[in-house]
Amino acid sequence: MNLPIDLRSDTVSRPTEAMRQAMAAAEVGDDVFGEDPTVRLLEETTARLLGKEAALYIPSGHMGNEIALWVHGRPGREVIVEELSHVMCSEGGAPAALARVTLRPLPSKAGGLDPARVEAALVLDDDPHHAPTVLACVENTHNRHGGRIYPAAAMTELAARLGAHGIPLHLDGARVWNAAAALSAPPADLAGPADTVMVCYSKGLGAPVGSALAGPVAFIREAHRTRKLFGGGMRQAGILAAACLHALAHHRERLVDDHRRARRLADLVDLPEGASVLGGRPETNIVIWQLPTDRFDVVEIRRRLAAEAILMSDFGPGRLRAVTHLDVDDAGIERAGYVLNQVLAGIPARPVAAR
């Protein structure tokens, strides 16, 4: 039986045979005691790639963002985020439940916070009625805006405006590897302006588990304590870290193949009247189609696609998402585009409700 063409997320990719061999051969120790040499090598390698002093291996990107909010923040303080960011929309209310901070969402055109707008929104007074701003977070690439890249120049300006008020900047860089590959830029160029950065190995890079949090040594020392507090301490984690090291060494350059396939998929689909690709032609590996909600039911579209072994996800009313990754080749993209066209052509108009 053939496996489905799974475009729900780049998290669904499976370890390659070479990655499995690296995992099997990994030298391990107890990471909670700081004795796993493969984890230490991964952390050192990641910090160097991102231009940071130190890094901490963690189970998930979600945990990395929440650790950052905990260490940077204080209960009753405010964190500025983009209104459709992962921290705002996809972390289960953890900022309030764990770090006990308030999120202030700001709108954007393509997922990138406008530096001037952020500075204008800062709460800097000592009025006890207000929650003082302690942090701003940006996401690069931005998931819900179709994998858009936040330009390094904007990040640099934002960091400077925040720094003038003593406020740090955190980068949710779950897919910053994709941004770097798309721009042919070192990851440090994109991570450099941020005080701290979270990166994932389990998305486009194809590792089975893991993310990292990087920043100054003192921050990472406190993050290590917080990882334990959140239950994220792992023991012989070198088996997992070996997969991440393999991914860093062998899977970063191939990310441009995923980007090319995302653009090809977008080009293959004959858009119905009133439909569009969110944000325009894909910059990285995410395609989100915005479909007229009066004529298309995304849940029904997903059901019909699944019946043909094509899996996609929905991102709210009228939004259908496909994410390319290393397990989907050119033939899979051609098949997905063909089937999606057939499904869209066969969806009848919604009946008009009786009045």
Q: Given this model, what pLDDT does residue 316 score?
A: 85
- What is the 3-class SS of 268-308, one letter each residue? HCCCCCCCEECCCCCCCCEEEEECCCCCCCHHHHHHHHHHC
Whether the pLDDT of residue 117 is over 80: the answer is yes
Q: Given this model, what pLDDT does residue 89 score?
A: 95
For the chain, what's the residue count? Answer: 355
pLDDT over 90 for what percent of the chain?
A: 94
Q: Given this model, what pLDDT does residue 221 score?
A: 97
Other residues' Cβ atoms within 10 Å of the Cβ of residue 166: 8
| Closest of 247, 287, 245 to residue 263, by C-alpha | 287
Q: Report the DSSP beta bridge partners of residue 135.
A: 79
Confidence band, pLDDT 50/70/90 cuts, at residue 183: very high
**pLDDT tens figures, 271-310:** 999 999 999 999 999 999 999 999 999 999 999 999 999 9
Q: Given this model, what pLDDT does residue 3 score?
A: 82
List domains and CATH numbers for the chain.
Answer: 14-250 (3.40.640.10), 254-346 (3.90.1150.10)
The answer to whether 188 and 50 have CB atoms below 8 angstroms apart is: yes
Q: In the structure encoding, which two tokens stand for residue 227, read together?
A: 């990882």
DSSP 8-state assignment for residue 95:
I
Q: Given this model, what pLDDT does residue 1 score?
A: 47
pTM for the model stands at 0.94
**pLDDT tens figures, 184-225:** 999 999 999 999 999 999 999 999 999 999 999 999 999 999
